[in-house]
């Protein structure tokens, strides 16, 4: 019996390998060797054999791509290291400025760059253990993603397993993480969208949204039926870049069977980078998928580490965004829209026009100043542009014999179109605002802000749901979210038993989010994500924050008089204090970890250079900051210490020149250790 099983196992593995080989030829290389029918026959054979021996089915078998069981929402998983985004540049000058900064910070001029297409999809992390795909995570908020493994398995260009020999040959470890872009080719997008419209379903705005919606389907067989593609561009081990050079990373990924973008280039200098950018600018329409620019990355990992990161993006990479694509169309009307802060934004309602794969029917006109600057009237023909994610905007009025001018001027209403409250324009400000604090439009927008990803993360509480809840008066402030019951939700349109339960689970889960999210969620003017973090860290509780004076608030990192005044104003309003109380009663997190920063290094500025033996750049930076010090990127007269690791370059020379104290890793440890 044992040997018989062994035989079948062997037979199964051979068959699987054969299929994997052909999948790779077909889906990754686009060079099939078999006809579809021949391929299907192989697959049928495998299915049959597996059906006879269900105990021998493995999760990485090609048969397992096609839809497993439906899932109950997605589990959230922390990323091995944050999934960052990229800073953008829009001109050659900006790109050159970035290059100068790279030279300055690294102290080198001979920097090589890798140029890649900036694929307009969604980033996705794939975890492999022992060469097998074990997890697929969306980017989520960058720190935590959603486990979409069942859906990722259905993507044909994602290898489900890679043999040890193959990995070894490519110099790759057995446990690793690949990050890359998941996307939907334009052709498939158009076809599927047309089908959806025919069925009366809402069309997706662009291929990126379609891909994102597809990988987050709760029913993997739906994902399986839609052609998604995946391109790898990063290789990590335990959250850190694996190879010494980015160029080698992509080669290795390609060798082991990932789809990588063949349109890449190793550039010896910025001239070559610029050539690549220009080369693709005119050709991007010929690609089967959308790109919105070019990504330029410093090739050497050691240099990347030296350059480090700003808040959300690496300093060692930059995106060059192609100019927005535009079209000429007619303004049928201009209608003000009321936002969370009560701001009225004039929105142009357009004759629908396709721009870069999306139909555009609205464009922002920002405010009255902009309308006057453009001299735009209702009935005018205008140039409309859309850049990537940004809301389309009107850039100029077009006037010629085919495009006669419109005649009707737009006036901002004196009363809010949503609540009838007074609309005012404060001296010196460009914006008109509705002054009624209870304006339902503000309510709707503030509930949306509260629920959104990156704030309280209540998945499923999007536009449609929030509108219903606020329109029906079921949610009058954000605390009401925590009073919703299943019966409440079931009264709403398009809300079944399962979705209602999902929303309730999400609401429940949001209570565990840390204090900084709650602070951010309150929607205090000028208090963004980062400020909320500093506030939570400094005050350690909502009560301390609520009772802080303007002076105390200004002790917090990056909080100046404007933000401090806004916070005090917010908490002075009794309705806001009451709201905070309701949130507390609902069980949200009101206490945080007050981080005790050491003080002895306060006021001291450090610069790090070269490779440290025991710490990554980020770790060293954190140690110094925890002891109250500051870490800066470049050496100046204000620098107190230069921490020089091995192969420190020009920064050490500069420090010596300026008389800055140069210390080694050990001395840094002592400084930090002694005072922290």
Q: Which residues are catalytic?
A: 118
Kindly report the backbone phi and psi dihedral angles of residue 535, in degrees, each rounded to the nearest multiple of 5, phi listed first.
-65, -45
How many residues sit close enough to ligand IVH to count as binding (CB under 6 A)?
13
With b for 16 or more beta-carbon neighbours within 10 A and e for fewer, the 112-144 pattern comes to bbbbbbbbbbbbbbbbbeebbbebbbbbbbeeb
Instruction: Find the shortest distance in angstroms from Cβ 647 to ligand IVH.
Output: 24
Nearer to ligand IVH, 81 or 166 (CB): 81
Residue holding tokens 């470890």? 173
Q: Is 236 in the site for ligand IVH (CB under 6 A)?
A: no
Q: Is 314 in the site for ligand IVH (CB under 6 A)?
A: yes
Q: Token pair of 308, please?
A: 């480090």
Q: Give CA–CA dist 385/46, Å, rounded.
A: 51
Q: Is 181 in the site for ligand IVH (CB under 6 A)?
A: yes
Nearer to ligand IVH, 131 or 314 (CB): 314
Instruction: Find the shortest distance in angstroms from Cβ 233 to ligand IVH.
Output: 4
Instruction: Find the shortest distance in angstroms from Cβ 118 to ligand IVH.
Output: 4
Nearer to ligand IVH, 250 or 553 (CB): 250
Helix, strand, coil percentages (3-state) for the chain, rounded to 5, are 40, 20, 40
Nearer to ligand IVH, 250 or 418 (CB): 250
Contacting residue, 16, 65, 118, 246, with ligand IVH by CB under 6 A: 118
Q: Token pair of 625, please?
A: 């900051």
Instruction: Find the shortest distance in angstroms from Cβ 314 to ligand IVH.
Output: 5
Nearer to ligand IVH, 86 or 546 (CB): 86
Residue holding tokens 């404007």? 562
Q: Which residues contact 227 (CB under 8 A, 6 or more apart)?
A: 156, 184, 185, 188
Q: Is 123 in the site for ligand IVH (CB under 6 A)?
A: yes
Alpha carbon 344 to its chain centroid, in Å, reads: 28
Instruction: Find the shortest distance in angstroms from Cβ 388 to ligand IVH.
Output: 9
What 3-state DSSP class applies to 123? strand
Q: Is 245 in the site for ligand IVH (CB under 6 A)?
A: no
Q: Is 290 in the site for ligand IVH (CB under 6 A)?
A: no
Contacting residue, 84, 170, 378, 397, with ligand IVH by CB under 6 A: 84
Q: Which residues contact 41 (CB under 8 A, 6 or more apart)?
A: none
Residue holding tokens 């068959």? 15
Nearer to ligand IVH, 319 or 350 (CB): 319
Instruction: Find the shortest distance in angstroms from Cβ 86 to ligand IVH.
Output: 4
Instruction: Find the shortest distance in angstroms from Cβ 292 to ligand IVH.
Output: 8
Q: Is 183 in the site for ligand IVH (CB under 6 A)?
A: no
- Chain positions 63 to 82 lying near ligand IVH, rule: CB under 6 A, are none
Pick from 138, 135, 183, 163: nearest CA to 257: 163
List the end-to-end C-alpha distance of the chain, in Å, as a whole number: 65
Q: Give CA–CA dist 246/299, Å, rounded.
A: 5
CB 279 within 8 A of CB 124: no
Q: Give CA–CA dist 437/421, Å, rounded.
A: 9
β-strand 113-119 against 176-183: which pairing, if any?
unpaired
Q: Token pair of 373, please?
A: 């600057």
Q: Is 254 in the site for ligand IVH (CB under 6 A)?
A: no
- Packing angle of the helix pair 574-586, 561-572 (nearest 10 deg): 80
Nearer to ligand IVH, 208 or 652 (CB): 208
CB 455 within 8 A of CB 520: yes
Q: Token pair of 590, please?
A: 């009101």
Q: Is 319 in the site for ligand IVH (CB under 6 A)?
A: yes
Residue holding tokens 């498939």? 188
Q: Is 138 in the site for ligand IVH (CB under 6 A)?
A: no
Kindly report the backbone phi and psi dihedral angles of residue 40, in degrees, each rounded to the nearest multiple of 5, phi listed first.
-60, -35
Contacting residue, 204, 230, 233, 450, with ligand IVH by CB under 6 A: 233
Q: Is 431 in the site for ligand IVH (CB under 6 A)?
A: no
Instruction: Find the shortest distance in angstroms from Cβ 309 to ligand IVH.
Output: 8
Contacting residue, 160, 295, 567, 663, with ligand IVH by CB under 6 A: 295
Nearer to ligand IVH, 46 or 295 (CB): 295
Contacting residue, 12, 46, 86, 671, with ligand IVH by CB under 6 A: 86
Q: Is 322 in the site for ligand IVH (CB under 6 A)?
A: no
Q: Which residues contact 343 (CB under 8 A, 6 or more apart)?
A: 431, 432, 433
- The residues of the shown chain that bind ligand IVH, judged by CB under 6 A, are 84-86, 116, 118-119, 123, 181, 233, 295, 314, 317, 319
């Amino acid at each position: 019996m044992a040997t018989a099983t062994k035989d079948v196992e062997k037979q199964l593995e051979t068959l699987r390998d054969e299929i994997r080989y052909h999948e790779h030829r077909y889906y990754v290389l686009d060079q099939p060797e078999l006809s579809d029918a021949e391929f299907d026959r192989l697959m049928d054979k495998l299915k049959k054999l597996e059906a006879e021996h269900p105990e021998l089915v493995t999760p990485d078998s090609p048969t397992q791509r096609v839809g497993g069981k439906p899932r109950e929402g997605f589990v959230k998983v922390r990323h091995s290291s944050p999934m960052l985004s990229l800073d953008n540049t829009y001109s050659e000058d900006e790109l050159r400025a970035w290059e100068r900064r790279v030279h300055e910070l690294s102290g080198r001029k001979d920097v090589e760059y890798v140029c890649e297409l900036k694929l307009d999809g969604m980033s996705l992390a794939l975890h492999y253990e022992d060469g097998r795909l074990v997890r697929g995570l969306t980017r989520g908020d960058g720190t935590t993603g959603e486990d979409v493994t069942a859906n990722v398995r259905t993507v044909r260009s994602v290898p489900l397993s890679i043999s040890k020999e193959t990995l070894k040959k490519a110099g790759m470890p057995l446990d690793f993480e690949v990050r890359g872009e998941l996307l939907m080719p334009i052709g498939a997008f158009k076809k599927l969208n047309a089908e959806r419209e025919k069925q009366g379903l809402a069309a997706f705005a662009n291929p990126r949204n379609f891909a994102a919606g597809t990988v987050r389907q709760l029913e993997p067989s739906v994902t399986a039926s839609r052609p998604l593609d995946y391109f790898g561009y990063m290789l990590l081990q335990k959250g850190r870049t694996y190879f010494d050079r980015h160029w080698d990373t992509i080669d290795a990924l390609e060798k082991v069977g990932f789809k990588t973008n063949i349109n890449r280039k190793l550039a010896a200098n910025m001239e070559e980078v610029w050539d690549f950018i220009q080369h693709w600018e005119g050709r991007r329409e010929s690609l089967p998928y959308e790109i919105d620019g070019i990504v330029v990355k410093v090739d050497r990992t050691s240099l990347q580490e030296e350059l480090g990161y700003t808040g959300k993006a690496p300093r060692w990479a930059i995106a060059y965004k192609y100019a927005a694509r535009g079209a000429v169309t007619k303004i049928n009307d201009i209608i003000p829209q009321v936002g969370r802060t009560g701001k009225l934004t004039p929105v142009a309602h357009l004759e629908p026009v396709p721009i870069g794969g999306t139909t555009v029917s609205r464009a922002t006109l920002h405010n009255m100043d902009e309308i006057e600057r453009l001299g735009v009237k209702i009935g005018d023909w205008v140039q409309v542009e859309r850049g990537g994610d940004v809301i389309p905007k009107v850039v100029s009025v077009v006037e010629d014999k085919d495009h006669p001018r419109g005649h009707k001027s737009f006036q901002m209403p004196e009363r809010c179109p949503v609540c009838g409250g007074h609309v005012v324009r404060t001296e010196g400000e460009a914006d008109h605002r509705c002054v009624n604090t209870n304006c339902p439009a503000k309510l709707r927008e503030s509930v949306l802000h509260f629920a959104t990803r990156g704030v309280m993360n209540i998945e499923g509480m999007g536009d449609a749901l929030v509108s219903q809840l606020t329109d029906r008066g079921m949610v009058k402030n954000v605390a009401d979210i925590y009073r919703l019951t299943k019966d409440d939700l079931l009264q709403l349109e398009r809300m079944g038993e399962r979705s209602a339960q999902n929303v309730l689970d999400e609401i429940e889960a949001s209570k565990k989010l840390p204090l900084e999210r709650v602070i951010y969620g309150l929607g205090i003017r000028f208090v963004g994500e980062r400020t909320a973090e500093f506030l939570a860290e400094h005050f350690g509780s909502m009560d301390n924050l609520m009772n802080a004076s303007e002076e105390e608030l200004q002790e917090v990192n990056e909080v100046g008089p404007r933000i401090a005044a806004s916070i005090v104003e917010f908490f002075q309003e009794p309705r806001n204090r009451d709201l905070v109380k309701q949130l507390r009663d609902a069980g949200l997190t009101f206490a945080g970890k007050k981080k005790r920063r050491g003080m002895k290094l306060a006021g001291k500025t450090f610069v790090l250079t070269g490779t440290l033996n025991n710490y990554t750049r980020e770790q060293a930076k954190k140690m110094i900051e925890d002891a109250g010090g500051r870490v800066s990127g470049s050496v100046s007269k204000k620098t107190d210490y230069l921490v020089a690791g091995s192969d420190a370059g020009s920064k050490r020379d500069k420090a010596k020149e300026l008389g800055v104290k140069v210390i080694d890793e050990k001395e840094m440890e002592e400084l930090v250790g002694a005072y922290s």
